Structure 1
Amino acid sequence: MNALEVSAVGFRYGQREALKGVGFSLAAGEFAALLGPNGAGKSTLIALLTRLYDLQLGEIAVCGHSLKHQPRVALARLGVVFQQSTLDLDLSVEQNLRYHAALHGLSGKVAALRIERELERQQLGQRRREKVRLLNGGHRRRVEIARALLHEPSLLLLDEASSGLDPASRNGLNRHVRRLCRDQNMAVLWTTHLLDEVQADDHLLLLHQGRIITDDRAGAVGGQEAGGLAQAFERLTTAKACA
């Protein structure tokens, strides 16, 4: 069973068609990079995957559960790190995690065990009592990832999660998420507009003007051009824009 199935998804803002028949699948333990220029429709797709927006057309299933017809079951298998931070800056790291655990109905004992595990895994143990507003951007992202993993999701969505981070923090976050994907057999959908966050073995989904125009391994796409993925990206998005 695939971790994520997206079938013929369309979405409009009034007369503007933001997504046009988008479809792809993501297997368990797979790292997929959703790449596209600004305005391609990435954030709209994430809003549909997380049910911030209701589906207008098509179907989305998480681990075989329809997001439209079984939303509670589907969302329970999903962890999310949004582009804009949703942490409470005036609460400590641990308080943010406890609040999230309570929202997911975890018992006090289970919540405590999982919080300890995630604090250790994210290397945040010594910062557990610090207010989030005192953390730098990279550490805040690690808190958000810890929070997203507390309920043990099968699929982790990250919407431009490295936005606003310095290059070292961006690279560190990317490596960290890839380790989680490998070690936990958890599927990851990483949305970005930055080519250096994509690796050759990644499942590459190139979204442009509301359509998936590439669904392949990044190395296969970049290997077709002398200039690699950067040249392929420019050619594909320019050609589609002029069509």
Structure 2
Amino acid sequence: MSRYALNIAELSFAYGQKKALDNVNIQVEPGECTILLGPNGAGKSTLFALITRLYDSRLGRIELCGYDVKTNSRQALAKLGVVFQQTTLDPDLSVTQNLRYHAALHGLSQKTADLRIQEELERLDMYERRHEKVRQLNGGHKRRVEIARALLHKPSLLLLDEPSVGLDVPSREVIVRHVHQLAGRQNLAVLWATHLFDEIGADDSLVVLDKGVVKAQGKLSSVLSATGTSSAGQLFSQLTQGKSS
């Protein structure tokens, strides 16, 4: 078994002649929250598409808990939970119905599914709303349901693609706190793409991606020290020459 929940080695990808990722190497260990920062067009979405097998690359290697996503796709993707930027819940189904459907796709019995649904929704203070249709929920509550859904099958790695976009500050704070607690308490590996610097914890690891190239990575404190910067915002501006994320 690999020591890494996610191991990306020498990964490159191009759209025709346009290179989107260039020799990317990223490792995420269990219990670690890694923040992926990059301006628009940096390659963040392409990277997530490759990890989840929406795209395929001939150059490089992606492993989830030691399983190659190309040669052992089923075993690899079983280790993965994903929250995409755009909601993928069925608005006409209840919270419980959405979660039961996802659990069934992963082969969970209804008894096991219902126990895990209760567990995850209670952690997110959403259990009392389990019978409500998704369309009745606000953006923050929908995000909580999507995080619960991503965790039902007990993944080893959680991918979060800009999960707090469009949410108010209290909703963002709930999600940030919950995900960081999960990483620490459940030994869950997290790769979190965000453009909001206040979502980065002091103990998080950081990957700065620009034009498909990793410009810096490591523990936040170490990267700040190595670059002579005092904050994640200053670091980001320096490495990406002030581009907007």
Fold similarity call, TM over 0.5 = yes
Residues 98-109 of structure 1: matches in 2 within 5 Å?
98-109=100-111
Question: CA shift at 1:227, angstroms?
Answer: 4.5
* Contact in 2 for aligned 1:4/1:62 (Cα 8 Å): yes
Q: Does the 8 Å contact 1:222/1:231 carry over to 2?
A: no
- 1:236 aligned partner: 239
Q: Which runs of 5+ in 1 are unaligned?
A: none
Indicate yes or no: 2:22 matched with 1:5.
no
2:173 corresponds in structure 1 to 171
Secondary structure of residue in 2 paired with 1:129: coil
Residue 45 of structure 1 corresponds to which residue in structure 2? 47
Matching residue of 1:90: 92
Distance, in Å, in 2 between the alignment partners of 1:127 and 1:95 is 12
Distance 1:157 1:19, change over 3 A: same
**Cα distance in structure 1, aligned partners of 2:88 and 2:70:** 24
Give 5+ residue unaligned stretches, structure 2.
Answer: none
Q: Distance in 1 between matches of 2:121 and 2:194?
A: 26
- Mapped to 1, the partners of 2:87 and 2:70 lie a distance apart of 26
Question: For residue 56 of structure 2, what is the aligned residue in structure 1?
Answer: 54
1:233 Cα deviation after fit: 1.4
Kindly state the Cα deviation for residue 42 of structure 1 after the two structures are TM-superposed.
Answer: 0.5
**Contact 2:91–2:135, Cα closer than 8 Å, also in 1:** yes
Aligned letter for 1:194? L
Q: Which residue of 2 aligns with 1:155?
A: 157
Percent sequence identity is 58
Contact 2:11/2:61 (8 A) holds in 1: yes
CA deviation profile, 1:8-29 (whole Å, cap 9, x unmatched) = 1111111111001111111111
Over residues 26-59 of structure 1, what are the superposed CA-to-partner deviations in whole Å (9 max), with x where a residue is unaligned? 1111110011111111011001111111123110
AA aligned to 1:231 is: Q
Cα offset, 1:200, TM superposition: 2.5
Answer yes or no: is the 8 Å Cα contact 2:210–2:240 preserved in 1. Answer: yes
Give the letter aligned to residue 217 of structure 1: K
Give the residue type in structure 2 aligned to 1:40: A
Aligned twin of 2:215: 213
Aligned length: 240
Q: Which amino acid aligns with 2:237?
A: E
Deviation by residue 1:170-229 (Cα, 9 ceiling, x = unmatched)? 122111110111111100111112222112321100111101110111122234445422
Q: Distance in 2 between matches of 1:110 and 1:169?
A: 29
Aligned equivalents of 1:63, 1:119: Cα separation in 2: 26
4+ runs of 1 displaced by more than 6 Å?
A: none
Question: 1: CA distance between counterparts of 2:103 and 2:237?
Answer: 43
CA distance in 2, matches of 1:8, 1:239: 27
Deviations 1:51-101 (A, max 9, x none): 111123110000000001000000000000001110001100000000001
Match of 2:200 in 1: 198
Q: 1:168 Cα deviation (Å)?
A: 2.1
